Every structure is written in structure tokens, then in C-alpha cells.
Structure 1
Amino acid sequence: MRFLPTRLHGAIDYLWGLALLSTPWLLGFDDVPAATWVAVVFGVGAILYSALTAYELGLLKILPMPMHLILDGIGGIVLAASPWLFGFADRVYLPHLLFGLFSVVACLITRLEPTLVNGRREPA
């Protein structure tokens, strides 16, 4: 069931990206290079493709919302598995796992089109 409006998803995207990007320093695993790089790359990547998405908070509106959600889902799976894929699970795994699972859930519950306002679609 898709109930999360795309406008709210957009706000979450930017906050999620910034939060993930900052976790190595906020949570103290910046001394684990692979864990740090994964968090930085996925955080920056999420912010960039959010800026390119054709939704209310997108800046260039190039990437269709369904493609954005596919990236969220696949990226979330890879992020959740990254501690084991890249060999740092013995040092840190929970932030990557939780951020990844959050991304997968978000891709499954977000609407594919902008919300109707007063009987009309909001402009993307």
C-alpha cells in the first residue's frame, strides 16, 4: 500500500542523505575507511539523485519517480548488506543496515505520483 506522499518522501530524501553522510563522525566510526566511504557515497548519491527527481522537491526534474523508487530499493538493499559485502561488519554494521532497510521500506510505501490538491495534481 503506497500512502507516503512524494512531497514528504522528498523531504525525507534530503534529510536521510545528510544524516547518512554524517554518521561516521556522529557515531564515531570514521576510523573505519570502508564504512565511512559507503556512508558518504550513499549519502551524497541520495542527495544528488533526489535533486534530479521529477517530484515536488526535485531541482532538475529529470528522473521519473518510479525510477527514483527503484534506486531507493536497490540502493537500500546494497547499503543494508554493505557491512558484510565490504568486510566491516565486525566494526560497524547497524547504521548501514538500518538506513538501508529504511530506504527499502520508503520505496515500497511511497506514491508514484504527486498528491492531488483541490482535485488537481501538484506540479512536480
Structure 2
Amino acid sequence: MIDYVVGVMLMASPYVLGFADGGAAEFVPVALGFSAVIYSLFTDYELGAIRAIPMPVHLGLDAASGIVLAASPWLFGFADQVHLPHLLFGLFEVAASLTTRTRPSSGLVMGDA
């Protein structure tokens, strides 16, 4: 569930936090948030619709997205305008990718009785 929430939050952040200026500061989180929602729909996990992407690949995409997002203010030259949301969201994505299990817990699975 967190993948979809973070994706939507990333897409909304430039507008909610006031840095929607039509430049890279706006484009990067919107593009990465949209990408996260799309690859989440294709991930082989509970909330995936198509289930074509293995969870370890999904987590690799999350980590890569987080690194790009965190570095984007300096990579694309808008750090003097805004950097904290990109850095914090990016670091969160990296941390989440490193701490997420690739398999469901061994507890009761839906349908077990």
C-alpha cells in the first residue's frame, strides 16, 4: 500500500509544497511518483494488478528512484530553489527499499484455515 501512497504524494508534492514552476523541481517528483504507481501495478505482490515484476526488481527500482530523487536538486541545478522535499522523500524511498521483505511473513495467508 505504501508504494501507491508514496507515488501519489510525490506527484502532489510540487503543488502542495509550492515548487510547481514547470521546471525540473516539479518534473522529477511527478515523473518518479507516476513511475512508482505504474511499476507497482505490475509488481508480483498483494496489490499488483498484473504481477509481472518480481519484488526484488521492484525494490531495486525503488532504491534507484530514491537515489535519483535525493540527488536531483544538485543533478538538475535547482538546489538553491528547493531541495529538502526531494532529499527527504528520496532517502525515505531508499530506506524503505532496504527494509522491505521480499516475501510475505510466514503467518496465516488469506484462504488458509
Flag structure 1 segments of 5+ consecutive residues without an equivalent: 1-10
Structure 2 residue 41 is the aligned partner of structure 1 residue 59: no
Q: TM-score, normalised by structure 1?
A: 0.85
1:32: Cα distance to partner?
A: 5.2
Q: For 1:30-109, list aligned pairs within 5 A.
A: 30-31=20-21, 33-109=23-99
* In structure 1, distance between residues paired with 2:52 and 2:37: 14
Higher relative contact order (CA 8 A, sep 6+): 1
Q: Secondary structure at the match of 2:53?
A: coil
Q: Secondary structure at the match of 1:114?
A: coil
The answer (yes or no) to whether the contact 1:29–1:35 under 8 Å persists in 2 is yes
Structure 2 residue 6 is the aligned partner of structure 1 residue 16: yes
* In structure 1, distance between residues paired with 2:26 and 2:63: 21
Q: TM-score, normalised by structure 2?
A: 0.93
Name the % identity: 55
- What root-mean-square deviation, in Å, do the aligned CA atoms of Structure 1 and Structure 2 show? 1.5
Amino acid at match of 2:8: L
